Amino acid sequence: MNGWQGTLETALGRTFNDEDPGYTVELARGTLEVGLYRPPRPDPQQPHQQDELYFVVSGHGWFVNDGDRSEIGPGDALFVAAGVPHRFEDFSDDLTAWVVFYGPPGGEQPGDAGLRR
């Protein structure tokens, strides 16, 4: 496969798997995995082995990342380093986010630019 295009409508129409009922994988290639996440209550996430990006497409609530709590909504992008505890809290029923896992177990090494806010 040399290309891929996913849509929110298509991803929402898929059956979420039994192992993780709020998550569906839309693309997997090498270390890259793109999925759609609709967290159940409470959000049961545990730290992941890879770095992770979320792109919130609908809903609102709070995101806890290594103890820091921030308000989130559509259009927000969230980064979580590998191994860091994180979860969604106090979120609306329609909270939906694209999720991107990538890189080696343990995560990428920070570059010279570091994280920007």
Q: For 77-97, how does the pLDDT look when each residue is reduced to its tens digit (9 = 90+)?
A: 999 999 999 999 999 999 999
Q: Which residue has the higher pLDDT, 114 or 12?
A: 12
Look at residue 60 and tell me whether its pLDDT is greater than 80. yes
Determine if residue 107 is left, alpha or beta; phi over 0 gives left, psi from -120 to 50 gives alpha, anything else beta: left
Radius of gyration of the chain (CA): 14
| 113 pLDDT above the threshold of 70 | no
6 neighbors 55 (Cβ within 8 angstroms): no
For residue 108 the two structure tokens come to 């990428």
* pLDDT band per the 50, 70, 90 thresholds, residue 16: low
pTM above 0.75, yes or no: yes
Residue 10 has pLDDT above 80, yes or no: yes
Please give the average per-residue pLDDT across 54-77, as a whole number.
Answer: 97
How far apart are alpha carbons 11 and 15 in whole angstroms? 9
| Confidence check: pLDDT of 46 > 60 | yes
Domains of the chain in sequence order: 22-102 (2.60.120.10)
Lowest mean pLDDT among 20-29, 34-43, 75-84: 20-29
